[in-house]
Structure 1
Amino acid sequence: MIRHGTRYGMTLRVGAALSFSLMYALMKWAATLEPVSAGEMVFYRSLFGLPVVLIWVSSARGGLASISTRKPMVHVWRCALGVSGILLIFQGLRLLPLADATTIGFTSPIFATLLSILFLKEVVGRHRWAAVVLGFVGVLIMVRPGAEGAPPLSGVLFALGGAFVAASVTVTLRQLGKTESPTAIVFWFFVACLVVGGSLTLIDGHTSSWTVLAILAAGGLAGGLAQLLMTTSLQHAPVSALAPLDYLQMVGAVVLGWLLLNDAPTMATLGGAALIAGSGLYTAWREHVLKRDITPPSGSAV
């Protein structure tokens, strides 16, 4: 039986998944109307998402004191990874269909498994290795190397690079989360995105129309709300109950891609997505059975 607190946490997580889907769809939509760069996407996401985060910080226990840190250099490293990851993810989003970019982002648990072997010295059994292989088969089905109509390789590489960096962030957060509050981790990441994204926008940005600016602003608000809902959900429910819900982002990407961009997914995308989702869900189930920390599947919240 699902407890009331767990049910509330799961509801928040559903809202987070759908908000992330909306954020990516709006950013993609803006990029189809005008040449919006990845740096601009990062800037507007943080500019309009940061007020949402600040409201959350002000209501958190301790208020502004909750963003203080005992490990500033680890935050610098985490932010450097996170900003690099979201730049790669947004660049992949610019080049790929929305459903493809979103699905490839869910290869993050595969990379997290490999990184946990290298850096956390975790022992990975045959079940998790099978999940890793299944996930990579899903990627190959989606990418269809050399096939006519295959997604552009550059976009796939950017998206995979973003998923890899998101996995690296997850490994870092396992260590940082032992001493730092979630509010501090999220706040400083948004500040870093604002600084780096703003700098890139000054260098490579352009003057957008009011329509595109409104779409980017809405995307930023959705991103801030998604971050808030995702982090808050962890206070009410275990990751084992929440992780599968992140895959609703794939559903959201398909629906919003069709509604906003008139972009229906191919059978290869749907087939690859099924295998990637199956890989992540099986990994989450095995982690739950072994009573270990589960790597959140979403690469959205780098």
Structure 2
Amino acid sequence: MAISPNLRGALFMSLSMAGFTFNDSIIKLLTSDLSIAQVMFLRGAIASLLIYLLARQQRAMRPFRLLLNRWVAIRILGEVGGTVFFLIGLSHIPLANASAILQALPLAVTMGAALFLAEPVGWRRWGAILAGFAGVLIIVRPGVDGFSPYALLIVGTVIFASARDIATRKIHAAIPSLFLSTVTAIAVALAGLVLIWPMGGWNPVSVPEFGLISLAACLVLVGYQFIIMSMREGEISFVAPFRYTGLIWAVVLGMVLFGEFPDIYMLTGGTIVIGSGLYTLYRERIKSSAKPASRAAARHSP
């Protein structure tokens, strides 16, 4: 029986989120013995090689002079800053909490597009954005017992990542995604190299640890490729909600690998963030479906 494009897209999105979350779990395991910058450099170097080979195979490489514009620089800065903040925060707070905060990224991108790209956002979506950030505050729980300042680094990751995604929208379509991914991966690896000594120096890497780092790099590549495939297969409004399956993986892996059980703050805040994101997607779908109707009415008006 043939599988519809929407179902294939949903499956690819779910696989992408699994790849990213398993990668996060491996990194969290590794940072108990290795410095964060060391892991960042090694994973970035391996990922850079893999993505470069894929870009060469797809004939996506371009002259590096095409990268000399501010939007590319903002995208790279957003990726590097988000990676540093996320890895530091992830090493100190539960995996599920970090994942739940990251679910606010679509809301942050919608807000950023409204503020910096002048994209229209109605009062309903603004309400959903505010509700989603209230959910993030519940997870972070400032001023309450159990508050960790490292959770604020994950909030910083959302800010960096939203800047990355907004900048990506402004980059000319002639620059292939794989080319941008290759350059970004190299920048992340170099940032890790620069930060190794300020963040604890170099520790010996065992063969099993190097194997796990290599696996994490492969999982990052799997995540990026499947998320691209998911957007190309199905309707975005149908496929996008399946990004929240990453939180399910984070809860399960947190319990199995780290003995981390979600508390009421994380469950409540995560539910609000996901609900707000789903409502925002619903409103965007209604808005998109209304455009063809308005254009058709305009064509038939006297």
TM over 0.5: yes
CA contact (8 A) 1:45 1:217 kept: yes
CA contact (8 A) 1:67 1:181 kept: no
Q: Map residues 25-104 of structure 1 onto 2, 5 A cutoff.
A: 25-31=25-31, 33-37=32-36, 39-60=37-58, 63-65=59-61, 70-73=66-69, 74-104=71-101
RMSD: 2.3
CA deviations on 1:195-251 (whole Å, 9 max, x unpaired) are 212222255332144143333332222112211222232232232222111111100
Q: 1:164 offset after TM fit, Å?
A: 0.8
Q: TM-score, normalised by structure 1?
A: 0.86
Q: Which amino acid aligns with 2:35?
A: V
Task: Confirm or deny that 1:207 pairs with 2:217.
Answer: no
- How many Å separate the matches in 2 of 1:144 and 1:79? 31
CA contact (8 A) 1:48 1:217 kept: yes
CA deviations on 1:148-202 (whole Å, 9 max, x unpaired) are 2x231x2121110110111111111111153322112211111111221222225
- How many Å separate the matches in 2 of 1:237 and 1:181? 21
CA contact (8 A) 1:88 1:159 kept: yes
- How many Å separate the matches in 2 of 1:98 and 1:250? 9
- How many Å separate the matches in 2 of 1:101 and 1:36? 19
Counterpart residue number, 2:244: 247
Q: TM-score, normalised by structure 2?
A: 0.86
Counterpart residue number, 1:20: 20
Q: Which amino acid aligns with 1:252?
A: W
- 5+ residue gaps, structure 1, are 293-302
Q: Equivalent pairs: percent with the same residue? A: 23
Counterpart residue number, 1:284: 281
Structure with the greater alpha carbon radius of gyration: 2
CA deviations on 1:134-153 (whole Å, 9 max, x unpaired) are 112212221223222x231x
CA deviations on 1:223-280 (whole Å, 9 max, x unpaired) are 1221122223223223222211111110010011111111111121111111111111
Q: Which amino acid aligns with 1:196?
A: A
Runs of 4+ in 1 over 6 A off after TM superposition: none
CA contact (8 A) 2:6 2:233 kept: yes
CA contact (8 A) 2:39 2:213 kept: yes
Task: Confirm or deny that 1:170 pairs with 2:145.
Answer: no
Counterpart residue number, 1:296: none
Q: Judge which range, 281-290 or 156-165, deviates more.
A: 281-290
Q: 1:198 aligns with which of 181, 193, 196?
A: 193
Q: Map residues 134-283 of structure 1 onto 2, 5 A cutoff.
A: 134-148=131-145, 150-152=146-148, 154-176=149-171, 178-204=173-199, 205-210=201-206, 211-283=208-280
- How many Å separate the matches in 2 of 1:54 and 1:237? 27
CA contact (8 A) 1:258 1:264 kept: yes
Q: How many residues align?
A: 285
- 5+ residue gaps, structure 2, are 290-302
